[in-house]
A = this chain, B = another copy of it.
């Protein structure tokens, strides 16, 4: 882990919180560009001023070497990084702090903790980067303990090593607590990369990605972490489970797929063999601008269905393009990127551009290319992965992408509701879903906040449908933010659910999406999952309330 101090209430490093001057600039932009009413400039909280309830657990001596009940540890493990977490944190509300924080050094300590938790009926919430936006690392949503003797947050970040590399099979065995940069740095010694860059990349961990089926860098084929997993190892109250490391198998329902998305409800993921690859020296990128959103969607669909397998194929609607300063002229922007470790990719990009142009797309700038086959290649060499796509709109987009969560801190401090939600739906179903989401979320923002702003992009595309991702902004009344936010979130989730989308393509279910997850999945399937949970976790101590009721 980095030595730089992390924010105890918001995203990322504490020293990144902007000064008042910067905040005033953003405030002016919101007022001018979005027509928001004048915003207050609220002071962020200090950790010394935070008070939390007394811990309800007595940590036995055999665990006290790695389990802490210190206030600061407990405060720092209270929330994830959802809007509602930042709001609660910003207002200094840490009443839901866990009773203790465990930082085990190895699987034996995890198993010892689970044994104790099972005996004492203490809930255990696995914690990786703490970047959940769905209440996945939240300890006690109702504040009443729900029949548990207490709650322990189990922080696995000490398990941060790349343990083994098999370059021949392009795979690596990685511990679950390793963050994006920790994986990057250790694999770089072998000339390899995982190439999984969720927006939380800097802080989130492999175990968290697997537990939540995190979406990453690739818009096609390798869309979620699922597609890189060869096996998993998980410590459960019933024992330690390790699936066989395999490139593929047809032996029964895929055991890895039961762990992927289990959100800590079965056990604690401790390591996994993952597919890795060298840095791809061949790149080709372009951005295509569209005046018409429907035409842009059609172009994107056709590119996805052409099986050109672009690494990037991200359609930003005009609001999203503006928000990220990728295009300020009202264009919808399709960001295309191809990459290969093996061969030039100009042809794939050319074909994708041709399809886009057939649908009325314009190329405001020449495509950019990198590769050892190009005489004046602008390839800057090894740069370690995330942030290594710098060309044109794609570069702007990418830096905005990793910057966005920091903006959320600032927006919260300005009393702005800022939230994102995402789904996946068939191409056929998208227009009606998009219309319903737009209408109902806009109406909810208007009703709650007087005004609001909604932007949409496709983060991933499949042959049978896109994964649309929405960002909303609305001016809140400080102190009433969550009261105003809740109906907006419900409007978005209802619109998605009623129009055939999934409540989440990659953010996970957690506690926030559970009601809609129940509408999306057959009751008999959830019963089967619950039965499976009971086999792994007979006492029901693993992350109760996440995923399953």
Contact = CB atoms under 8 A, between A and B. Distances in A.
Interface in A495-545: 500-509, 513, 517, 520-525, 527-536
User: What's the dominant secondary structure at chain A's contact region?
Assistant: loop
Contacts of A230: 426, 464
A410 interface: no
Given A258-B528, A306-B342, A505 B224 contact: no
A245 interface: yes
Interface stretch (A5-13, A165-173, A288-296, A435-443): A165-173
Given A249-B424, A307-B341, A524-B536, A244 B464 contact: no
Interface residues of A, number: 96
Interface in A312-363: 340-343, 347, 351
A427 interface: yes
Contacts of A426: 166, 168-169, 171, 230, 245-247
This chain's copy number in the assembly: 2
A248 B521 contact: no
A242 interface: yes
Interface stretch (A64-72, A98-106, A259-267): A259-267
A463 B274 CA distance: 11
A143 interface: no
Interface in A395-449: 424-429
Given A221-B221, A340-B307, A525-B258, A467 B252 contact: no
Contact of A525 (B255, B263, B505, B507): B255
Contacts of A259: 253
Interface in A465-502: 465-467, 500-502
B341 A502 contact: no
A41 B438 CA distance: 74
Contacts of A534: 531
A547 interface: yes
Given A168-B428, A428-B169, A252 B243 contact: no
A40 interface: no
A450 interface: no
Given A236-B524, A522-B243, A250 B506 contact: yes
A308 interface: yes
Interface in A160-182: 166, 168-171
Contacts of A529: 252-253, 532
Contacts of A77: none
Given A244-B502, A428-B169, A252 B307 contact: no
Contact of A166 (B213, B261, B307, B428): B428
Nearest to A351: B343
A287 interface: no
A462 B241 CA distance: 25
A169 B304 CA distance: 11
Contact of A241 (B245, B263, B306, B522): B522
Contact of A460 (B224, B248, B351): B248
A479 B255 CA distance: 40
A309 to B, nearest CB: 6
Contacts of A466: 247
Contact of A251 (B307, B517, B523): B517
A391 interface: no
A509 B166 CA distance: 29
Contacts of A254: 226, 257, 260-261
A385 interface: no
Contacts of A500: 244-246
B522 A215 contact: no
A547 B307 contact: no
A528 B214 CA distance: 24
Nearest to A259: B253
Contact of A508 (B213, B250, B464, B465): B250
Given A258-B525, A529-B532, A250 B238 contact: no
Nearest to A260: B253
A131 interface: no
Interface string A84-117: 0000000000000000000000000000000000
A502 B463 contact: no
8 contacts: A247-B424, A247-B425, A247-B462, A247-B465, A252-B517, A255-B521, A342-B351, A343-B351
Given A251-B503, A342-B351, 9 more contacts: A221-B221, A246-B426, A247-B463, A250-B261, A250-B502, A251-B517, A253-B258, A305-B342, A307-B309
